[in-house]
Structure 1
Amino acid sequence: MLGCAAVALVTPSAGAEVPGYQAKVDARLGSLKRGVAAGPFKSDWDSLRAGYRAPEWFRDAKLGIFIHWGVYSVPGFANEWYSRNMYVPGNTAYKHHVATYGPQSKFGYKDFIPLFKAEKFDPAAWVDLFAEAGARYVVPVAEHCDGFAMYNSDLTEWDAAQMGPKRDVLGQIATAARSRGLHFGLSSHRAEHWWWYYMGRTYDSDVKDPRYAGLYGPAAPMGLPADKPDHWPDGNQLQEWMPPSKAFLDDWTARTTELIDTYRPELIYFDWWTAAPMFQDRMRDTAAFYYNRSRGWGGQGIITYKASQMAEGSATFDMERGKTDALKLQPWQSDTSVSVHSWGYAKDDTYRTPQSLVSDLIDIVSKNGNLLLNVGPKSDGTIPDEVVTVLKGMGGWLKVNGEAIYGTRPFKFFGEGPTKSGQVRVGGQVEQSAIKGYTPADIRFTTKGNTVYALGLARPADGAVLIKTLYAGTPYLDAPIKSVELVEGGKIDWAQSPTGLKVTLPAARLADPYPYVLKIRTR
């Protein structure tokens, strides 16, 4: 195992170049302490669990847009981990970087920043597209693991307002979203920055230059086997990693409170390394502070998390590129990307189809979840044509069938059919097992008032549908079925029998690759 003495490690404060940095951090920590003390939420799991409820807007919204956009979009190679992988000898990104840009001692990640011009970035146009796609909330990444903040920060000079685009990207997206009536959230991946650039310290690279410590530092040893720099422990092994210093934790806390107070997000997504044991106290403090602040603004802030950093019931659970196979009693979220191999823009990536994503949205909503769908814009601020096509395709379906999605609640049983959901490992990425598609026997349910919606995830070739759950006398309905309609239009025949609800779809609609929706009334 590596120790601190294995490499000459220089770890100046992350914001050392900022005048009055320590005083600003101290002021933020003091504000946090006062915000927690003000209540009603306290910094303990019982208090957080007792007071937290996902707000109704979130339960009604169902679809949000995640945005991974940063300096990593300039090389646009492989995935958004380029900033780290370009410093890992043997990694394909390392080889690509040397071949394309030269050695890391001459051209480092910092040298991409002047090329990150965002000259075509139009936040209003972005939000118009997201609204056309049917999204009801927007969650840009405020800071990825690379350490370059996409907002105007008082705690670092390495941000988009002072370098690269020279615009407060996060703030401009927030303004555009709110003016369009969409809810605004943000995500923080700052925690991983503690060890992100460590491999760049093991040979001659610009990571070792103290002039760039504000971007690359601390670049600390991970405490992992030296011969396995890409080994990632599971949630039970995070204690094996080299714990971050108090200075780094203070910086993380200060940056988080800065984001909360400056941008007033309605949702915050915390990435996985905040599940490391040394963040536990910080997560409780941050949650209490954020929830109290949100109450002061007249709302309930949402924290979404995907590991073990929050106690169950104190925030909203998120599954990355995965879904549950069961109806969950509490609202939850799944996040995935339109692009298959990367969250940020990458040349020659492959993309999901709008039909497959609509099917996943239906499956998630039927189980009391929301879908946070990611897009990765190019470095100039344009969204790839492939992504635009997918978003517009989804939006077209939702314009017709959205009544079965928005504002709905789970039925007594989420659905029926053979296809299972979950998470599988593919090349180091977590991918949805349902990408391969659903069968005509896969049906999902949602409800609104006295209406039950049955959503067929694939259309049968002969048009014959049998919904076994809704057989005559089923305990899942309060009364016999009175009417069945196809939401997209077209005459259908139906009958409720002891074996199920039998429906015949119009022959003219059977070639449609999108799911269909049946509107079922019992009174």
Structure 2
Amino acid sequence: MKKKALLLGLLASMLWSKSNAQQHSEQNHDKYVWPKDELVKQKLNKWQDIKFGLLMHWGTYSKWGIVESWSLCPEDEGWCERRGESSSNWYEYKKAYENLQTTFNPTQFTPEKWADAAQKAGMKYVVFTTKHHDGFCMFDSKYTNYKVTDAKSPFASNPKSNIAKEVFDAFRKKDFMVGAYFSKPDWNTPSYWWPYFPPKDRNVNYDPKKYPEKWQQFKDFTYNQIEELMTQYGKMDILWLDGGWVRPFESIDPTISWQKTIPYNQDIDMPRIAAMGRKNQPGLLVVDRTVSGEYENYVTPEQQIPDHYMPIPWETCMTMGGSWSYAHNDQYKSTRQLIHTLVDIVAKNGNLLLNVGPSPEGTWDNDVYNRMEEIGKWMTVNGESIYETKPAAPYRQAQWAFTQKGKATYITYLAKEDEKTLPATLVLPFKSVGKKGIIRILGESKALKGKEVADGISIIIPEKVRQNLTNQPAWVFKLQAE
């Protein structure tokens, strides 16, 4: 048993080291290229100021409550596992999966309700999945019949059948910045997974160098669909491209495990796509995820927060629950955890893009609405420590997070899980605010008295203030310099 335990411990250590090394590799963005286009710079600055956005993964896969698209991928990975009667035969499974188009009918779809809840939570931008890797379009593309607006879909007769358009319009009316998630790989179109060959993995199933005409068909198909989104869906702020294995071969980073398995050069001509996008949408932010360089205007660590401040534009995309797409009885993160996540990210110079997966009926779980409302209550009081702020050294330290705006420094005290009330005395880890400086806690108008000590500024918090601000996930102290 001891030998087995030792082996398990060594294995866990190796796996942790590999994961940790990959995380640090993905946080190393020496190849980041700052945009030169003035309109792109302006939009990037605006995006960095708004801090908090909503991502939605939604498609026919919500009918089964399974992981989005990945069960189609013939790789032996846990997230690709198939379920159901046809799971033992990939070809039958793919047919059954694609037949979900004929029953996907989200008659309770009301994007205005989503936009209202997101706005009240303090979110300022939205990114919506127009097409995931499975190729099913949640918009009215003329280049495929595998779409929600096709006659095969019972929702096609609904006035709101062009789902992406309805979502973008609803959020735009609430003054959100709007982004289109778009998968570069497409496992439905025959110019990516060519039926002549069986697919082996997530990648294109033929050598583009050997079959250049076939690859050109795919490049044109991709360009044309993105052009539809850039010309027919109103003002667009962000083109958020997923599927980072579709990339030029020379851009592969062999230190990242999933990238070193890419077998082919899958260059889809990003210069052409970006030029078209910005011609139609001046200042468009292009986010070619994980492909460092000119077309990754901000980087997007997934389901993780960098362990340190990063001086470049970045965004953590993270699920509110346990799944990107709708899952039956999903378990959602607590309000405390979500607010701590936002504060941590902002202190390190990032944005939080929080994901929700709508149900097959077109609704959100009640828990989602509850979390949104609770986050909104905290943001109403403390949002000034988030929006339009810059990180302040030391950024994150124990239970503290630091941001600044003008002459104001915000020091956020992150409550421990069982900590319902502020301590009666605290030492703020800050040198001085000067003789005429003012210290307040957001949510209370009366200034606090502070005394400089060796470790910072010692303050006494009146009992009335402590009771007024009980059961908060975090408390923010505002230090206004003279």
TM-score for both structures, normalised by structure 1: 0.71
Give the letter for the 2:247 counterpart.
A
Shift of 1:463: 4.0
- Summarize the alignment of residues 121-520 of structure 1 with structure 2, pairs less than 5 Å apart: 121-162=109-150, 163-166=153-156, 167-189=161-183, 191-193=184-186, 196=187, 217-218=193-194, 243=208, 245-263=215-233, 264-271=235-242, 272-277=244-249, 278-280=265-267, 282-295=269-282, 300-307=283-290, 309-311=291-293, 315-340=297-322, 342-417=323-398, 442-458=399-415, 462-468=423-429, 470-472=430-432, 479=434, 482-489=437-444, 492-505=448-461, 506-508=465-467, 511-520=470-479
> What are structure 2's unaligned runs of at least 5 residues?
1-30, 209-213, 250-264
Separation of aligned partners in 1, 2:204 and 2:147: 31
1:409/1:446 contact within 8 Å kept: yes
Shift of 1:50: 2.5
Pairwise CA RMSD: 3.5
Shift of 1:303: 1.8
Separation of aligned partners in 2, 1:378 and 1:320: 22
> What are structure 1's unaligned runs of at least 5 residues?
1-44, 198-212, 233-237, 418-441
Alpha-carbon deviations, 1:100-125, whole Å to 9, x = none? 99992796112211221010001111
Partner SS for 2:467? helix
Shift of 1:388: 1.6
2:118/2:372 contact within 8 Å kept: yes
Partner of 2:9: none
Partner of 1:61: 50
Alpha-carbon deviations, 1:223-276, whole Å to 9, x = none? 86xxxx6xx8xxxxx899955822222211221222112224201111123335
Shift of 1:70: 0.6
The count of residues paired between Structure 1 and Structure 2 equals: 413
Identity fraction in percent = 24
Partner SS for 1:192? coil
Change (3 A) 1:463 1:257: farther
Are 1:119 and 2:107 an aligned pair? yes
Alpha-carbon deviations, 1:44-65, whole Å to 9, x = none? x999843242433212211110
Partner SS for 1:110? helix
Separation of aligned partners in 2, 1:124 and 1:467: 42
Separation of aligned partners in 2, 1:513 and 1:104: 51
Alpha-carbon deviations, 1:435-480, whole Å to 9, x = none? xxxxxxx211111222111111225673433233x124xxxx7x56
Are 1:96 and 2:84 an aligned pair? yes
Partner SS for 1:394? helix
2:197/2:205 contact within 8 Å kept: no
Change (3 A) 1:90 1:453: closer
Partner SS for 2:82? helix
Give the letter for the 2:231 counterpart.
D
Partner SS for 2:86? helix
Shift of 1:281: 5.8
Shift of 1:135: 0.8
Give the letter for the 2:413 counterpart.
G
Shift of 1:186: 0.9
Moved more, 60-69 or 281-290: 281-290
Are 1:76 and 2:65 an aligned pair? yes
1:139/1:184 contact within 8 Å kept: yes
Give the letter for the 1:273 counterpart.
W
Separation of aligned partners in 1, 2:403 and 2:351: 13
Change (3 A) 1:215 1:87: farther
Shift of 1:158: 1.5
TM-score for both structures, normalised by structure 2: 0.76
Partner SS for 2:119? helix
2:381/2:442 contact within 8 Å kept: yes
Give the letter for the 1:186 counterpart.
A
Shift of 1:346: 1.0
Shift of 1:327: 2.3
Give the letter for the 2:164 counterpart.
L
Partner SS for 1:318? coil
